[in-house]
A and B are shown apart, each in its own frame.
Chain A
Amino acid sequence: MPQTTLVSILEGHRSQPHQLIEVLQDVQDQYGYISEDSMRAISSELGAPLMEVYKVASFYKAFSLKPRGKNVITICTGTACHVRGANLVLNQAVGQLGIEPGEVSDDGLFTIEHVNCLGACALGPVVTENGSFHHHMNPGKLRKVIKTINSSGTEEISHG
Chain B
Amino acid sequence: MAKIHAISDLEELREKIVDDRKQFEKTIILCGGTGCKASRAQAVIDAIENELAEQGMEKRVLMRTTGCHGFCEQGSLMVIEPGNIFYCHVLPEDIHEIITKTIREGEVVERLLYTDPVSGKVIQTEAEIPFYKAQDRYLLAQNRQIDPCSIEDYIAIGGYSSIGKTLSDISQKSVIREIENSGLRGRGGGGFPTGRKWAECREAPGDEKYVICNADEGDPGAYMDRCLLEGNPHLVLEGMMIGAWAIGAQQGYVYVRNEYPLAVKHIRVAVQQARELGLLGNNILGSSFSFDVSIARGGGAFVCGESTALMASLEGKVGEPRPKDVHTVLEGLWNKPTTLNNVETWANVPSIIQNGASWFGFKGVKGSKGTKILALTGHVKNTGLVEVEMGTPIKTVVFDIGGGAANGKPIKAVQTGGPSGGCLPADKFYLPVDFDSLAEAGSMVGSGGMVVMDESTCMVDVAKYFLKFLQDESCGKCVPCRLGIDRMLEIVTKISEGRGVSEEISLLEELGATVTQTALCGLGKTAANPVLSTLTYFRDEYEKHINEKKCPAGVCHELITYMIDSEKCTYCGLCKKACPHDAITGEKKDIHAIVLDQCRKCGICRSECKFDAIQVN
Contact = CB atoms under 8 A, between A and B. Distances in A.
Given A117-B218, A124-B377, A48 B607 contact: no
Contacts of A82: 220, 465
Interface stretch (B157-165, B314-322, B516-524): B314-322
Nearest to B261: A131
Nearest to A128: B38
Contacts of A138: 607-608
B223 A91 contact: no
Contacts of A56: 299, 316-318
A94 B604 CA distance: 12
Interface string A108-152: 000000011111111110100001011100111001000000000
A21 interface: yes
Contact of A135 (B38, B301, B319): B38
B375 interface: yes
Interface in A57-114: 59-63, 77-85, 87-88, 91-92, 94-96
B35 interface: yes
B299 A25 contact: yes
Given A61-B301, A122-B72, A135-B39, A116 B469 contact: yes
Most buried by B among A21, A22, A24, A94: A21
A55 interface: yes
A120 B299 contact: no
B451 A21 contact: no
A44 interface: no
Nearest to A19: B316
B582 to A, nearest CB: 10
User: Which among B222, B296, B317, B418 has the highest number of chain A CB atoms within 10 Å?
Assistant: B317
A117 B259 contact: yes
Contacts of A121: 220-223, 375, 377, 383, 449, 451
A32 interface: no
B221 to A, nearest CB: 4
Contact of A60 (B217, B300, B418): B300
A59 B319 contact: yes
A92 B602 CA distance: 8
B313 interface: yes
Contacts of A80: 220-221, 375, 377-378, 383, 449, 451
B331 interface: no
A95 B584 CA distance: 14
Contact of B73 (A63, A91, A116, A123): A123
B580 interface: yes
A122 B384 CA distance: 5
B226 A119 contact: yes
| Interface size, A (range) | 35 or more
Contacts of A124: 377
A22 B297 contact: yes
B148 to A, nearest CB: 15
Given A91-B602, A123-B73, A59 B301 contact: yes
A10 B315 CA distance: 17
Interface of A is mostly: helix
A88 B604 contact: yes
Contact of A92 (B222, B318, B465, B604): B604
Contacts of B437: none
A84 B384 CA distance: 15
B34 interface: yes
A123 B375 CA distance: 12
B581 interface: yes
B302 interface: yes
B607 A95 contact: no
Contacts of A92: 580, 602, 604
B412 to A, nearest CB: 11
A59 B607 contact: no
Contacts of B472: 116
A59 B318 contact: yes
A87 to B, nearest CB: 8
Contacts of A91: 580, 600, 602-604
A116 B473 contact: yes
Interface string B222-248: 110010000000000000000000000
A110 to B, nearest CB: 14
25 contacts: A56-B316, A59-B319, A62-B298, A79-B378, A79-B451, A82-B220, A83-B451, A85-B607, A92-B604, A95-B580, A95-B600, A116-B302, A116-B469, A118-B259, A119-B34, A119-B217, A119-B259, A121-B221, A121-B222, A121-B383, A122-B73, A122-B377, A123-B73, A131-B261, A143-B578
Given A25-B297, A116-B473, A135-B38, 19 more contacts: A18-B315, A21-B297, A60-B301, A77-B220, A80-B383, A82-B220, A91-B580, A91-B600, A91-B603, A92-B580, A95-B600, A95-B604, A117-B221, A117-B223, A118-B259, A119-B223, A121-B375, A138-B608, A143-B578
